[in-house]
Amino acid sequence: MLPAAAGYDRAITVFSPDGRLYQVEYAIETVRRGTLAIGIKAKDGVVLAVEEKTRKLQINNVTQKIFQVDDHIGVAAAGYIPDARTQVDHARFFAQSNRLIYDEPVDVEGVAKNIADMAQQFTQYAGVRPFGVALLLAGVDKNGANLFLTDPSGTYIGYDAMAIGAGSDQVTDFLEKSYKQDISLAEAASLAVECIYLVSEDKSSTKHMKMAIIDTKTKAMRKVEDEELEKYAASAKEKAGRHPA
Amino acid sequence: MLPAAAGYDRAITVFSPDGRLYQVEYAIETVRRGTLAIGIKAKDGVVLAVEEKTRKLQINNVTQKIFQVDDHIGVAAAGYIPDARTQVDHARFFAQSNRLIYDEPVDVEGVAKNIADMAQQFTQYAGVRPFGVALLLAGVDKNGANLFLTDPSGTYIGYDAMAIGAGSDQVTDFLEKSYKQDISLAEAASLAVECIYLVSEDKSSTKHMKMAIIDTKTKAMRKVEDEELEKYAASAKEKAGRHPA
Amino acid sequence: MLPAAAGYDRAITVFSPDGRLYQVEYAIETVRRGTLAIGIKAKDGVVLAVEEKTRKLQINNVTQKIFQVDDHIGVAAAGYIPDARTQVDHARFFAQSNRLIYDEPVDVEGVAKNIADMAQQFTQYAGVRPFGVALLLAGVDKNGANLFLTDPSGTYIGYDAMAIGAGSDQVTDFLEKSYKQDISLAEAASLAVECIYLVSEDKSSTKHMKMAIIDTKTKAMRKVEDEELEKYAASAKEKAGRHPA
Amino acid sequence: MLPAAAGYDRAITVFSPDGRLYQVEYAIETVRRGTLAIGIKAKDGVVLAVEEKTRKLQINNVTQKIFQVDDHIGVAAAGYIPDARTQVDHARFFAQSNRLIYDEPVDVEGVAKNIADMAQQFTQYAGVRPFGVALLLAGVDKNGANLFLTDPSGTYIGYDAMAIGAGSDQVTDFLEKSYKQDISLAEAASLAVECIYLVSEDKSSTKHMKMAIIDTKTKAMRKVEDEELEKYAASAKEKAGRHPA
Amino acid sequence: MLPAAAGYDRAITVFSPDGRLYQVEYAIETVRRGTLAIGIKAKDGVVLAVEEKTRKLQINNVTQKIFQVDDHIGVAAAGYIPDARTQVDHARFFAQSNRLIYDEPVDVEGVAKNIADMAQQFTQYAGVRPFGVALLLAGVDKNGANLFLTDPSGTYIGYDAMAIGAGSDQVTDFLEKSYKQDISLAEAASLAVECIYLVSEDKSSTKHMKMAIIDTKTKAMRKVEDEELEKYAASAKEKAGRHPA
Amino acid sequence: MLPAAAGYDRAITVFSPDGRLYQVEYAIETVRRGTLAIGIKAKDGVVLAVEEKTRKLQINNVTQKIFQVDDHIGVAAAGYIPDARTQVDHARFFAQSNRLIYDEPVDVEGVAKNIADMAQQFTQYAGVRPFGVALLLAGVDKNGANLFLTDPSGTYIGYDAMAIGAGSDQVTDFLEKSYKQDISLAEAASLAVECIYLVSEDKSSTKHMKMAIIDTKTKAMRKVEDEELEKYAASAKEKAGRHPA
Amino acid sequence: MLPAAAGYDRAITVFSPDGRLYQVEYAIETVRRGTLAIGIKAKDGVVLAVEEKTRKLQINNVTQKIFQVDDHIGVAAAGYIPDARTQVDHARFFAQSNRLIYDEPVDVEGVAKNIADMAQQFTQYAGVRPFGVALLLAGVDKNGANLFLTDPSGTYIGYDAMAIGAGSDQVTDFLEKSYKQDISLAEAASLAVECIYLVSEDKSSTKHMKMAIIDTKTKAMRKVEDEELEKYAASAKEKAGRHPA
């Protein structure tokens, strides 16, 4: 938690004397309180994975934190999830409009910019609060596989691999050491599982994780089912055994 | 009651330094102050039940806390009930529009998302307060029986069985132990009564409870009349006798 | 008077940490400060009665607290009376629209829901205060005699008999003991007078009370004139003599 | 002056914990600070009178506090007079619209309700203050002579005789003792002068008073000129001599 | 300067516990801070005069404080002069509209009421401050010569002679003693100069005063040039010599 | 700097108890903080000059503080310069509209009034701050050469010569002693340079000054180039040598 | 960091007693917190360069801080980058509109004024915060090579060379000493690298810098690729060796 900055944290869209926008920083704090979300680019696609603890009677085959924007674009979120849903709905509309107008699938960066622009507006105008969520936007377009991060400030940046949410600093350090650009989708998926084991209490099952893959060949997002996820987990546990964190 | 968080609790749509939206948390507190509401999926339908204490001269055959959204969808509410009515009216309109446009009954999840989207908006824009109510949305559609929870934050999640309102933590613990997916509607109804007896002072009559059932065969919500309710209560009391809480 | 709850009572449409809407609770306090209003259903109609202290030179044959919504629907109010007038005007418009659209008199519950929905809106949006009045809505429609209570929170509930305003707790206790569903209109009227004597200083005259009756046969509201009122008072005083409070 | 009620008196349209609207009560205090205005019904008309201290060089034959709404309706005001002018303009428009639509003069009560409805709105919506003025509305219509009081709360009540403004409590007490329903217009006018002498320092001249009369025969409001006023004053001084206050 | 009234002076359009509108009273204080303006009716016209200290290099033949509304109507202002310009522009538009619609020059009182109505609105609605200026409106219409005062409260009153701005209390006292209704325009002009000498440091020249006259014969406002003004000053100084203040 | 006036300085468009508009006074303080701007009328035109310190790598042949409104009208500004640009754009639009509607160049006073009217509005309505800039508006029209000052209060006044910004009090004193109405444009230009030397640290070069001249013959504004400016500076230094300040 | 100025820093669009707009000054503080951005005009074009530290897995061939507005115009930003994106989008729209309307590329100064005008509006109206970013706008038009600075106050100024962001004071001092107007584009590029080395910790690689060049011949902006950048860096390091800072 950040130290309370008397007064500047209450009013929206106001600079503090040292040039900071506290409401935006607090919204980013909301992201840090969310559970982990990871995006990893492979040579043949992109992987999105989230840690998602479900209660016992919750319908488990539905994910709260991974969304599909278009056939070829998916999103993993960390932070205030209802805000993520709003941003994703906005992005879906943008993607569909693009198909209607240009008769081709939208670029992933176009969607990232569109989401970030909306987020920026919510930091400058009164009468609204910033979005309390960061998104990892993964997709395959004519430029190949893409991974973008958008955050409450309205920033968007491209990454090869990125983690957001609780424990993301530790995971990002790990990714910076372990990531290689020429890994396969299976290796990326396995690496994503390894990241979740790094910060989660449950270091063996796959019940607390969800995953989606966008393949450069199919150009389509698909949900990773439990059986396949188990294979990535097995491989992750094997690797983790070789290089203990 | 939550500790008063100086200042952050007064203005709407503002993040606290630790990334929380206090107004939303306080609205969820309103839900906790409401009387118990329960939803339980069975293999052949869904049951909604509420504890509803009526005053002596109140018209007893009308329920304040169970609403019908469409033929095949019902709602049980806990919290600030006038807000529930507003959300239900909104959902009815959405369901009717769907019938007009697509000429088929709306999906239950579609309604849940619609209610949750509206709730999210009321947490982000100034000039309104969040909704002070959580809803259990039960219905039967082409995907079978469904049960969704919506809350003031704008979250919606699918469950097999769920309780909201005063005593819901204790009831949810009980449900996690007792619930099985292959129970019949009658067993679910009996289980719901058992839940109410768990937290209510009146542990024998049915005067303080209301129930509705949506059957997968009829795809229609129906109110459970007193006589039928008595049967479920008898069965619940018998079971409770066997495994005392 | 409620204890002052620092801060939460000033801004509108804001939850307190314990999930309460203070402005709504204060508006309900306004109702408690109003003079007594009573509604009692009989087997052949409904009675509305109010205590209304008039100054010496005030025009006495006009009531400030009983209103007619439509031929078959009347209202008795307690609290901030100018707000009651606004709600009644709103209800009149709703009733007339119903006649124009469906060519039949509106249902009493439909009017109650309409008033309550408006009241709920005034608790959720900024720029307005809640209504400071509760209404007893009495009427005869195809479902027979009806009595509904609406209050500043936006709640509406059906009752056989109900009292609002100063002394209403005492009167409601009395009604719960004395009321029977099969009483005649005359008995209900007499019971209403008894209620007023219970809390009023003037325990013998009828100068400080107004009454209206909606009969199931005529389906029309009529004002009870002084002579008739005296008869009910005589009968009330006789009964009160038999069972002193 | 009322004791300052910390905080509740600053924001508009907000209830205090004891269910009061302080802004409305303060506006009524503004009325009490105004100079005296009186309305008295006679068997053949209505009299309006005001105490109006004019400065030495002020144009004396114009009154600031008595207004004409329509041929048959006049108004006497106490409190913040510019607000009275706004309400009267509003009432004039309403009266003219009525003539255009129904081709007959408007009822006096209809005008009173119209003014009071507007006043109620100004107590419920943000962005405005309540009106700081009370009006005595006198007129002759198909129901005979009428006298209504409207105040900042949005209340309107019919009276036989009523006083508002500084000293009105004392005058109302006096009227309750002295008033009789069968007095003639001349007697009512004389009584009105007596009321002014009761609270004014100048207890002999007519320079500080203005009067208007609406006669049931002419159904027209007319200003009482100085000569006629002197006669009423003479008669008033004679009566006052007989029963000293 | 008025004593600061904690809190009630900050928010607009709010009553204080003793029923006062502080913002309006402060705006009237702005008028008192302005330099003197005087209006005096004569038997054959009206005179407007202002004290107006010009800096050395200021263009002296233009007045900042006397305005022409229409051929036959002029205004002298005291207080916040840019607000006077806004009110005068508004009045000009009103006068021109009147000419277009009724094909005759507007009544002076009509203009005074129009200005005062606008001023009243600025005391009742949020989002604006009251006008900080008082106007003396002088004109000749079918009722002869007219002089009206409008102030920030929205009041307008007719006078034979009136002073506003710094020293106006002293000047009004003097006018009440010296003014006679049958004076000629030249005498009124001379009296106006005498008033200015009464409160100004410069008690001999005419450099610090501006004057305008509306004659009942011409029905046209004309600026009084320096030479003519000197004559009135000479006569004023002679009179002042005879009856020293 | 003015002493901080607790509270009254924060809210916009609010009077203080002594009838002052602090926000307007603070905006005028912004003008005083700006660098010097001067306007001087000559018998054959008008001169505008400003002190403008440019950084070393700044493009020096562009002025930030002198603007052209129309062929025949120029502006020199002191205070918050971005506000000046907004006012000038507004004035340009007004001047062009005038040409389109009346087919002749706009009067200089018309432009001054237009700018001042806009400034007045920004002192009376909420949601905006006053303009933080004063303008010297110079131009040649059918009335000859003109010079007007507009300021944040919405005042506009005509002058023969005027200075605004830092040191303007000293310069105005000097102008009041030195200025003569029958000076030539060259003498006025030289006098303007002398004014700048009076308050500037650099008392010999012309690098820190910009000048524009509107000639009554050409009726066109032209920028004074460096060479010409040097001549005026030489003459100014010569004069200053004769009468040391 | 500026000292906190009690109160004045919280509300938008409000002057402090000493005539300052704190919100604007705080927004300029945001610019100072950003990383360095530099613009340098050469005899045959303009160079833009930024220091941009990328994280290890960030996509490095995309710049966050240099934008293209039109073929012939580029922007380098320092401060709150999402705001820069908004201003650039606005400028792109303006540039495209200009092409459509006038069928020629827009002037660089026109774009600078357009951005600055928008920034000024955001300092004067409530409901928004100022932009927290400064832009260096570089382009080639019919006037040759241009470089403009826009900042949060709404100011725009032309420069030969300018630096903004952290360390810009030191760099500007250096540029004032080192810059010559007749340098070639290559020399300007090399100088820009030298500036970055001056304030950056990394004083040898080019990984933390991005550069763009607009050539007067091609009139087109082009990104400087790594290889070319290395050459400028080599030349910069050589020069720096000759004259150590």
Say how far apart CA F55 and CA A78 lie, in whole Å. 48
Domain that holds residue A99: 21-238
D6 pLDDT exceeds 80? no
Instruction: Name the token pair of A213.
Output: 């893959």
Structure tokens at C217: 């046969």
Q: Answer yes or no: is pLDDT of F2 > 70.
A: no
Q: Which residues of B touch A30 (CB under 8 A)?
A: 15, 19-21
Query: How far apart are alpha carbons D129 and D122 in whole angstroms?
Result: 6
Look at residue D156 and tell me if it is in a domain. yes
Interface of G with A (CB under 8 A): 1-5, 9-12, 22-23, 26-33, 55-59, 62, 64, 80-83, 85-86, 89, 122, 126-132
Token code pair at residue A76:
């993993």
Question: B7: which chain A residues are within 8 Å (Cβ-Cβ)?
Answer: 10
Q: What whole-number distance in Å separates Cα of residue C134 and Cα of residue C75? A: 10
Classify residue E33: in a domain, yes or no. yes
D15: pLDDT strictly greater than 90:
no
- What integer pLDDT is reported at residue G8 of this predicted model? 42
Over residues A24-48, mean pLDDT: 96
Contact D177, D198 (CB under 8 A): no
Nearest by CB to residue F57, choosing from G21, G126, G162, is G162
- Who's near G12: CB < 8 A, 6+ residues apart? A13, A14, G23, G126, G127, G128, G129
Contact exists between A and G (3 or more beta carbon pairs < 8 Å): yes
Strands, E assignment, chain F: 37-42, 45-51, 66-70, 73-79, 133-141, 144-150, 156-158, 161-164, 209-215, 221-223
Q: Is residue B2 part of a domain?
A: no
Residue F244's pLDDT band (boundaries 50, 70, 90)? low
Residue D89 host element (H or E): helix D81-102
Contact A59 B158 (CB under 8 A): yes
Q: How many CB atoms lie within 10 A of CB C11?
A: 16
What was the ipTM of the complex prediction? 0.90
Nearest CB neighbour to B17, from listed A9, A56, A62: A9
CA G12 to each of CA A9, F22, G155: distance values in angstroms, whole numbers, following the listed order: 14, 16, 18
Task: Indicate whether F120 pLDDT > 70.
Answer: yes
Q: Where are the beta strands (DSSP E) in chain D?
A: 37-42, 45-51, 66-70, 73-79, 133-141, 144-150, 156-158, 161-164, 209-215, 221-223
Query: Who has greater pLDDT, E65 or B15?
Result: E65
Pairing of strands E220-223, F156-158: unpaired
Chain G residues bordering chain F (beta-carbon distance below 8 Å): 7-8, 11, 13-21, 113, 116-117, 119-121, 123-127, 153-155, 157-162, 172, 175-176, 179
> Chain A partners of G62 at a C-beta cutoff of 8 Å?
158
Tell whether F40 is covered by a domain. yes
- The CATH number covering residue D55 comes to 3.60.20.10
The predicted pLDDT at position F9 comes to 40
Band (F243; pLDDT cuts 50, 70, 90): low
Query: CA–CA separation, A77 vs A63, rounded Å?
Result: 11
Per-residue pLDDT tens over the stretch E104-125 = 999 999 999 999 999 999 999 8
Separation of alpha carbons D87 and D81, rounded Å? 10
Q: What is the pLDDT of residue D3?
A: 37
CA distances (Å), G8 to each of B52, F3, F7, F11, F229, in order?
53, 14, 10, 10, 42
Best A2, A20, A26 member to test B by mutation, with max B CBs in 10 Å, is A26
Contact present, A27 and A87 (Cβ < 8 Å): no
Res B23 pLDDT > 80:
yes
Q: Is C140 helix (H, G, I), strand (E, B) or coil?
A: strand
According to the model, what pLDDT value does residue B240 have? 80
Whether the predicted pLDDT of A7 surpasses 80? no
Rounded alpha-carbon distances, angstroms, from residue F159 to E205, F119, F214: 21, 19, 16
Least confident interval from C113-117, E61-65, F44-48: E61-65
The answer to whether D12 contacts E14, with C-beta atoms less than 8 Å apart, is yes
- Shortest alpha-carbon distance between residue F18 and chain E (Å): 5
Report how far apart, in Å, the C-alpha atoms of D189 and of each of C89, C226, D36, D168, D185 are. 37, 32, 15, 17, 6
**Cα A165 from Cα A135, distance rounded (Å):** 10
Q: Does the residue A211 lie in any domain?
A: yes
Contact B86 C117 (CB under 8 A): yes
Identify the helix (H) or strand (E) that includes residue B109: helix B108-124
Tell me, yes or no, whether chains A and E touch by having 3 or more C-beta pairs under 8 A.
no
Q: How many CB pairs under 8 A join E and F?
A: 110
* Integer angstrom CA distances of residue C37 from B59, C60, C75, C160, D157: 19, 18, 10, 14, 19
Residue C13: pLDDT band (50, 70, 90) is: low
Confidence (pTM): 0.91
In a domain, F6, yes or no: no
pLDDT of residue D9: 42
Q: Is C5 part of any domain?
A: no
Q: Residue F32 is nearest to which of G19, G116, G162, comparing CB atoms?
A: G19
Closest residue by Cα to residue B27 from B93, B111, B87: B87
Is C244 among the domain residues?
no
Taking a C-beta distance cutoff of 8 angstroms, is the pair E221, E213 a contact? yes
The partner residue sitting opposite B127, judged by closest CB among A10, A31, A127, is A127
pLDDT, position C60: 78
Contacts of D80 in chain E (CB under 8 A): 21, 153
**Do the Cβ atoms of B79 and B165 come closer than 8 Å?**
yes
pLDDT tens track for C191-241: 999 999 999 999 999 999 999 999 999 999 999 999 999 999 999 999 887
pLDDT for the residue A4? 36
**Based on the number of CB atoms within 10 Å of its own CB, is A23 exposed (0-12), middle (13-18) or buried (19 or more)?**
buried
List subunits contacting chain A, requiring 3 or more Cβ pairs under 8 Å.
B, G
Question: What are the beta bridge partners of residue B38?
Answer: B49, B163
| Number of DSSP helices (H) and strands (E) in chain E, helices first | 6, 10
Confidence of residue D61 (pLDDT cuts 50, 70, 90): confident
Q: For an interface test with A, which of B8, B10, B12, B14 has the most A Cβ atoms less than 10 Å from its Cβ?
A: B14
Give the pLDDT score at C10: 42
pLDDT of D113 strictly over 80: yes
pLDDT digits 0-9 by tens, B186-221: 999 999 999 999 999 999 999 999 999 999 999 999
CA distance E161 to chain D (A): 6
High-pLDDT (> 70) share of chain F, %: 93
Q: How many CB atoms are closer than 10 A to CB D177?
A: 9
Q: Give dist(CA D211, CA D65) in Å, integer.
A: 10
Q: Into how many domains does chain B fold?
A: 1
pLDDT band with cut points at 50, 70 and 90 for residue C16: confident
The region of weakest confidence among B41-45, C127-131, C158-162, E229-233 is C127-131
What is the Cα–Cα distance from B5 to B14, expressed in whole angstroms? 13
Q: Name the percent of chain B lying above pLDDT 90.
A: 82
Question: Dmax over Cα atoms in chain C, in whole Å?
Answer: 54
Tell me the pLDDT tens digit for each residue of D19-56.
888 889 999 999 999 999 999 999 999 999 999 988 89
